[in-house]
Amino acid sequence: MRTQVGIVGAGPAGLLLSHLLHLEGIRSVVLEARSREYVEQRVRAGVLEQGTVELLTDTGLGDRLHREGLVHHGVELRFEGEGHRIDLSALTGGRTITIYGQQEVVKDLIAARERDGGDIRFEVEDVAVDGLKTDRPTIAFTHDGEHGTLECDVIAGCDGFHGICRPSIPAGELTEYDRTYPFGWLGILARAAPSSDELIYVNHPRGFALSSLRSPEIVRLYLQCEPDEDVDRWSDERIWEELHTRLATTDGDYELTEGPIFEKGVAALRSFVVEPMQYGRLFLAGDAAHIVPATGAKGLNLAVADVRRLSEGLVQLFGSGRSDLLEDYSRACLRRVWRVQHFSWWMTSMLHRFGDDRYQHKLQISELEYVTSSTAAATTLAENYVGLPL
């Protein structure tokens, strides 16, 4: 088998890359370890930056996104029992974020690739990349019990943090930077009307909480927990009780609406970057190259920014044979990656409970007071949150 771009992974990065390349007449094959049902149901991100929405819209993926996505103009920071609104739009010249589940983006992308005759193979096994330093790199895999080899011009490693592409690069070629946090998030989806129109990020003495949503009927709520928390220790009653405690306001005006919980999961928080994001003809994009803690709502958006750049480099390569954009891919991506790393680390540091560190808690409150009272500080949060220009 032969294609121009072999893509490992059908998450947002791999699927969007395949779609962008198709629009430019470049052929690709996507190889995905999981089933289609699995990737379409996997519950993850929910916040799209305006730049992400614009890119999806401009490339024909905006129909359902604009029908079902919820446009937000602000977020709330809640601490010491009081809410403070950050007016994202007023602080950024009218920019917004859109609430639209990552799995909805994935469904739209798969539908578009299917409509356009795209080649996505689900449930492939034994994926292995080779010949990365040649101009004919290959991907070996097993599909439906048969071995195959895909010969490519370029390979895109879009296989997430636990994929095989990054570990296929010889030891010593990459530098890794990482930070793990002494906590994770317990996330739920529940059938209930949102208690607030906007997202609420809470710094509470018992730990961080986040109130988000997916639709006027479905809420997405998170609680800071142990990094290896056993989700079975959290009955629905315990989850609601803890959410009530952490989200409560001193004036008692806030009322959290409960409803049946239909999804529960724990995710660890981590920061991770690998440099460079390229080895020969293998280009890493999205979570395969970097992870951010979810507090900044950036992971999906960063994956989109990567593949946009990668597709531009590939268009140049296949169009004119020039490779200066591709050679600059890693450097250009990493500038945004590190900005987003800092923002996500900062939001995480400001909002979570760090054990019994009372000094840190005092610093957090001071910083939150500053961010919610100084236009300069609030603007820093707002312009990073809505996303810096692509």
Footprint on this chain of ligand FAD (rule: CB under 6 A):
8-14, 31-34, 39, 44-47, 102, 124, 127, 158-160, 163-164, 185, 187, 267, 286-287, 294, 297-301, 303
Measured distance CA(373)–CA(377) in Å, rounded = 8
Residue 295 contact, options ligand PHB, ligand FAD, none, Cβ 5-8 Å cut-off depending on partner type = ligand PHB
Q: Should residue 137 be labelled a site residue for ligand PHB when binding is judged by CB under 6 A? A: no
What phi-psi label fits residue 207: left (phi over 0), alpha (psi between -120 and 50 degrees) or beta? left
Query: Judged by CB under 6 A, does residue 103 bind ligand PHB?
Result: no
Q: Minimal distance in Å, beta carbon 53 to ligand PHB?
A: 15
CB 142 within 8 A of CB 134: no
Q: Is 295 in the site for ligand PHB (CB under 6 A)?
A: yes
Residue 220 is a binding residue for ligand PHB (CB under 6 A): yes
Nearer to ligand PHB, 157 or 299 (CB): 299
> Which of these segments, 81-89, 226-234, 294-302, 349-357, binds ligand PHB (CB under 6 A)?
294-302
Binding of residue 95 to ligand PHB (CB under 6 A) = no
243 belongs to the binding site for ligand PHB (CB under 6 A): no
- Residues 6 or more apart from 231 whose CB is under 8 A from it? 186, 264, 265, 266
Which residue type does 24 have? E
Interaction partner, residue 220 (ligand PHB, ligand FAD, none; CB < 5-8 Å by kind)? ligand PHB
Cα torsion angle, 299, 304, 308, 310, sign = positive
Q: For ligand FAD, which is the closer residue by CB, 74 or 299?
A: 299
User: Using the rule CB under 6 A, is 221 a contact of ligand PHB?
Assistant: no
Sorted by sequence, the CB contacts under 8 Å of residue 69 that are 6+ apart come out as 48, 53, 98, 99, 100
Pick the binder of ligand PHB from 26, 120, 289, 294 (CB under 6 A). Answer: 294
Please return the burial class of 176, using the count of CB atoms within 10 Å of its CB with bins 0-12, 13-18 and 19+.
exposed
Q: Please report where in the chains the tokens 């292995």 appear, as a residue.
A: 128
Q: Kindly report the number of other CB atoms within 10 A of residue 339's CB atom.
A: 14
Cβ-contact 129, 164 below 8 angstroms = yes
**Residue 71 contact partner, candidates ligand PHB, ligand FAD, none, CB within 5 to 8 A by sort of partner:** none
| Region binding ligand PHB by CB under 6 A among candidate stretches 107-115, 164-172, 254-262, 290-298 | 290-298
Assess 297 for contact with ligand PHB (CB under 6 A): yes
Nearer to ligand FAD, 242 or 287 (CB): 287
Judged by beta carbon, residue 297 or residue 307, the one nearer ligand PHB is: 297
| Residue 47 φ then ψ, to 5° | -110, 120
83 is an interface residue for ligand PHB by CB under 6 A: no
CA distance 259 to 108: 28
Residue-wise DSSP of 64-109: HHHHH-EEES-EEEEETTEEEEE-HHHHTTS--EEE--HHHHHHHH
Nearer to ligand PHB by Cβ, of 18 and 295: the residue is 295
Close Cβ partners of 96 (under 8 Å, ≥ 6 residues apart): 50, 71, 72, 73, 88, 89, 386
d(Cα 278, Cα 255) in Å, to the nearest integer? 49
Neighbouring C-alpha atoms within 13 Å toward the C-beta of 279: 21
46 binds ligand PHB (CB under 6 A): yes
Q: Is residue 189 near ligand PHB by the rule CB under 6 A?
A: no
Minimum distance between the CB of residue 244 and ligand FAD, rounded to whole angstroms? Answer: 21
| Using rule CB under 6 A, residue 212 touches ligand PHB | yes
Rounded least distance, CB 294 to ligand PHB, Å: 4
Total of residues contacting ligand PHB (CB under 6 A): 10
**Helix or strand (DSSP H, E) at 238:** helix 236-247
Residues that bind ligand PHB (CB under 6 A): 45-47, 199, 210, 212, 220, 294-295, 297
